[in-house]
Amino acid sequence: MLDIRRIRTEPDVVKAALARRGIDGSDIDRVAALDEQQRRLAAERDEVRVQVKALSKQVGALHRDGKADEAAAAQAQSRALGEREQTLAAEAAAAAAEVRELLLRIPNLPHPDAPDGASEADNPVVRVVGFDPDGYEPAQRIPHWDLGPRYGILDNERAVKISGAMFTMQRKGGATLARALTQYALDRNADAFEEVRPPSLVLSETLTATGQLPKFADDAYAIERDDLWAIPTAEVPLTSIHRDEIIDTASLPLRFMAATSCYRREAGSAGRDTRGMLRTHEFDKCEVFAYATPEQAPELLDDLIDRAERGIADLGLAYRVLEICTGDLGQSHHRSFDIEVYAPGTDQWLEVSSVSWFSDYQARRGNIRYRPGGGGTAMVHTLNGSALAVPRVWAAIVETYHDGDAIAVPEVLLPYFRGSTRIA
């Protein structure tokens, strides 16, 4: 969430930044008014509390002096003030709760260098690598949802029988390919990132810390009986590893990676990109994540982009990098880049990685701090990237490496294929 102190001191700057996202400043004005009201009520509550304490001492002294009538009057006044204190405390708490609720819904401020734009159509392409639209053979122009059943590696018909629409099931070499991609992503980042296998079910406060709640509740799978949610990405539990903690500054940046299943309702997606592996309720993904100081964050952002980009390049896939414009930034994002692979069979650019810098937005929700020089504490910055999202990379590989008789295994994945070089 945004820093309330900045809203107090620089409301116009905050509103101008949100305007780049296409958001008016009415919520900021409401937060500022409620914050002022809450602080006024809290100050009045504290003054009344001081009076109550003083009267309590006075009542005791009057009783000792044998002035029962005066003591009774002071006691009655103390009770009235006590009731006033409780009323003020409740009003202050209600104002504070409304401020927090508004702050949870107000998105992060975009980085000054984030390109302006209204929607994904305005996302500039930073670079395109390895793409030749005329360089693909007819065999590569067959979509993976046709190739999968042909080679017995994708069995969505039975997946739907087992779990319902928008679930997939890989078999034989297809299952091996999915597993290989996950291990490949972990191995590539093991030089600098601690591997974690976090829980796949998390508490509401864990989902709130990343910005998924309350805004995206309809896209998440909830287990209401136990107040648990299925994670939409490993970013969610990784962000909360140090929730409500002060991190040793000397240990920053802290880097984590995790391969997990991810679960998303994909509300409103029925009939859109639901064939094959393009849009599913459950999928595997390897995530990389970092806590950092504000000074460390820009270099870490570049490193995360480079790692995700090289991972795709070494698979031999054509790809492009886009920077996300202000109007398309996610709720928590300060600056963000997407990597898309080209899938020749579907003739589409498919997003396979999103690398984002969240500034202190998530850390403020999760109360994750460090001690900068000069004393006191400050919020860390968080960064996150998809090292590799399996389904769409899987689809692009199956289409790109199909030669009409089989699907060749990319060279970097051969160590994970038990000696096989082709999916036939």
Burial of 315 per CB tally in 10 Å (0-12, 13-18, 19+): buried
Cα end-to-end span (Å), the chain:
51
pLDDT tens, 355-386?
999 999 999 999 999 999 878 999 999 999 99
* pLDDT tens string 193-250: 999 999 999 999 999 999 888 888 888 999 989 999 999 999 999 999 999 999 999 9
Complete DSSP assignment for 18-55: HHTTT--SHHHHHHHHHHHHHHHHHHHHHHHHHHHHHH
Low-confidence ranges of the chain (pLDDT < 50): none
Question: For 206, phi and psi rounded to 5 degrees?
Answer: -70, -40
| Bond preceding residue 253 cis, omega within 30 of 0 | yes
Neighbour count for residue 146 (Cβ, 10 Å): 14
**Average pLDDT over all residues of the chain:** 95
What proportion of the chain, given as a percentage, has pLDDT over 70?
98
* CA 301-307-310 angle, 5° bins: 135
Other C-beta atoms closer than 10 Å to the C-beta of 33 total: 12
Domains observed in the chain: 4-105 (1.10.287.40), 120-423 (3.30.930.10)
Give backbone dihedrals phi and psi of 43, rounded to 5 degrees, phi first: -65, -40
**Quick one: how far is CA 189 from the chain centroid?**
20
pLDDT at 408: 98
> How many helices (H) does the chain have, and how many strands (E)?
12, 16
Distance between CA atoms of residues 106 and 111, nearest Å? 16
Can you give the pLDDT at residue 63?
82
Spatial strand order in the sheet of 228-230: 201-203, 228-230, 221-223
Q: What is the pLDDT of residues 6-28, one digit of tens each?
A: 999 999 999 999 999 999 999 99
Question: What's residue 217's pLDDT?
Answer: 87
Bridge partners for 260 per DSSP: 285
SS3 at position 266:
coil
Phi and psi of 201, rounded to 5°? Answer: -115, 130
DSSP letters spanning 180-193: HHHHHHHHHHTTT-
Note the pTM of the prediction, 2 decimals: 0.92
Query: What's the pLDDT at 271?
Result: 53
pLDDT at 268: 55
Please give the helix or strand (H or E) that residue 177 lies within, else none.
Answer: helix 173-189
